[in-house]
Amino acid sequence: MALAALALAALALAAAPLPARAAKPAAAGAPADTATRKALVIEGDNHLFMVSAPAGWVLDDTSGMGSRIRCVFYPKGEKWNTAPTVMYVNPLHGYGAKARTVSALMAEDEKSFKMNAPKGKVSDGGTIQTTGKKTAVVRYFSNDGGPAHEAVAYVPEAELVMLLVLSSKTPQGFQGALPAYREMVQSYAWVASNTELGR
């Protein structure tokens, strides 16, 4: 697909309404909220993807770079490194959908998790349909076997698996952020890899 066509496709996806409720229009004469990025095309190591910030959340494409996380979210008024509940999007390379299945990756994740947290519990979080017409498979994690405090959505792409994560220091924070997390996952769409872009 030509670069111009890919750009037009990304713009069309950005303009498409999300299944979640629409944001309220700003009052007449009210200043625009320039501190919150609602939708952004993110450039990763060798790919582009699009994602949107849920209402009340900040999309930040710089604060996670020190941890090699390309795109992070936190509630408005808080910071990435101190917020008790955060979300982020990060690719897992080397797991092309044709070479290794998402099911195999999730099984490996669960095995590694159980080694680090012997009392931990992994449960089914269902699926979420993304704007990019993919099915995200969600798993919930609990370090102590109690209520979940982390969710991971696995989205297979041709050359990698995209991970969309919600992490909270408390089960209450986790539950409170689940609607925003589902909205964020719904907004995700793959744009192109460097190979598709001819780079």
Indicate the domain borders of the chain.
39-197
Please report the pLDDT score of residue 155 as a whole number: 93
Half-sphere exposure of 122 (CA within 13 A, CB side): 17
CB-CB contact of 103 with 113 (8 Å)? no
List phi, psi (to 5°) of 196: -65, -30
Measured CA to CA in angstroms, residue 66 lies from 70, 106, 109, 169 at distances of: 9, 26, 23, 21
Residue 195 tokens read as 């190979």
Residue 146 tokens read as 């109690």
Please report the pLDDT score of residue 99 as a whole number: 56
Of 11 and 53, the structure prediction assigns the larger pLDDT to 53
Compute the distance between CA of residue 106 and CA of residue 182 in angstroms, rounded to an integer: 19
Average pLDDT in the 90-98 region?
68
- To 10 degrees, the CA torsion angle through 183, 187, 190, 191? -160
Confidence of residue 101 (pLDDT cuts 50, 70, 90): confident
Average pLDDT in the 172-199 region?
87
Taking each continuous run of H as one helix and of E as one strand, the counts in the chain are: 4, 10
Q: Please say whether the structural domain 39-197 has been given the CATH code 2.60.120.1690.
A: yes
Q: Among candidates 152, 101, 145, which has minimal Cα distance to 124?
A: 152
Average pLDDT in the 107-112 region?
88
Can you name the residues that pair with 51 across neighbouring β-strands? 40
Position 15 pLDDT exceeds 70: no
Confidence of residue 65 (pLDDT cuts 50, 70, 90): confident
